[in-house]
Every structure is written in structure tokens, then in C-alpha cells.
Structure 1
């Protein structure tokens, strides 16, 4: 059995592997764990496809691939997940990822935002530009104004 890199203790096939094959993540924490596993396994297409669609074209695929390949991934710790109701549903996942590269060992603690649209969860990347003003339609396609939908989750 190949153990899933996300730290769940489950098999890859029974955990993040199912999501990498196209099964929708049941919640934001599962998506975040599967994204960590995708970094470990160099699955750039998955990382792009699970980012908010309005941000996907702005992602630097080469940089993602380079970081994924140059790091030795040391582990993931999920600290907290908070899901907010509403339409669309939003969530925050707080985690720490650890890795080693040519410049040493690193850890990164983050509180990531996620939104669920049409039965799928997406990562809202705070580093990828969103071309939306406060009164523009939200880039998540909820039909709401940006300020009433995802804008508050980018500040988190």
C-alpha cells in the first residue's frame, strides 16, 4: 500500500488519489490535502484545475512545476478548518507544510480560502490577480457582487 502524502495515514488510492483522478473533494480540507499531495507528486495540472477558474490562466505553471520538483516534501499538518454556510459556501483551512530544498528546511503556515461552486471546491489563490472591483460580478460565478461573495475571503 502506498501511503497518501497528505498525512492522513490512508492509502493514496483511498485518499487523495481519488481526487487526483477527478472525484470532487467532499470539503475544503480534503481539497487542501489533495493539493499538498499534488505538489509532492508533481501534478501541476491538478493544482491548476483546483484553483478558482478565474485565476487559472494567471498561474505560472513552470514555477509550480519547478518548486514541486525541487523540494523534498516533509509533511503536512492541518491545524483548523472552518466552513461558512451560504451560497456559495466558503471555507478557511489553516495548515503548515514542511519541505527541504537546496537552501535548507522550511515550513510555511497558511490560512487558505476556498469556495464551492457547482459541487466542486476551489482554492482562492491570494497571489493570483482577480480582475474584479467591489461591485463587479464575483469571479467564482456565484452571480453575486464580488464584495458580497469572495472578496472577504481574500483578506481572511
Structure 2
């Protein structure tokens, strides 16, 4: 994702569902430090989805979370070693009738994370890393708590 700045957060972790909470906690602490609590809920959902996707495609392997800011806003990027590019589901209007809420199929209702990231971010995408793997990223407009 380019050169890093002193206040950027870069954190390596194993690809596991257990690290999603850690990623959210780190992101929340950084955004509060920067006084961006106005976008906190959206940002934490974006981080959760990006880390979840990386952990699912590279279980047990290293993933990297990067959070930074520049003149265009806050950015979140997650690196994983998989060459597989993310494929968002086509956006469709859903109702509860469309979901299978039975206990054995409850977890099969996922797959909408990238659509959420697209909806909550000002821009998002994927960039192949020349050293292998890819960075999936999202950007949010800055919304400081004071003066928004």
C-alpha cells in the first residue's frame, strides 16, 4: 500500500476467525485516537469484513491489517497471500424469506461482506502485491467527532 507514516497501524496476525475481534479493537483504538468516532461503526464493520475474507481464504497463514489516513480520508487494507481475487455477490434485495435460518444452514447465509464494504466506503478495491498475494482495501471520508 505504499510508504507508511508514523501514525499508521500495521499489524500481522494469523488468518483465523479469532483475530477479527483483535482487528476491530485495534482499529477502534486507532480511530478514537485520531478522533474519528463519527465513522467508527462503519469503519469497524469494514475492518471486520476485510479481515474475515482474508482469514477465510488463507486459514492459519499470515494476514496483515493496515490502517492509515491521508488527505482523502481513512484507509483500511488487508493483505493475504492468496492469489484468489475477491468476488462480490451480485447485489440483490433480500427478505427473511430468502434466508435459510435452520440451525444446520445458518452459516451459509453469508457472503455479503464485500457488498457491505462497497456500500459503507467511499471507494474500495483490490491491488495485487508484486511480492505475492493481494491487498484488499477500502477508504472512508474523514468524519471527526467535532465539527462534522
Identify, as 1 or 2, the structure richer in helix.
2
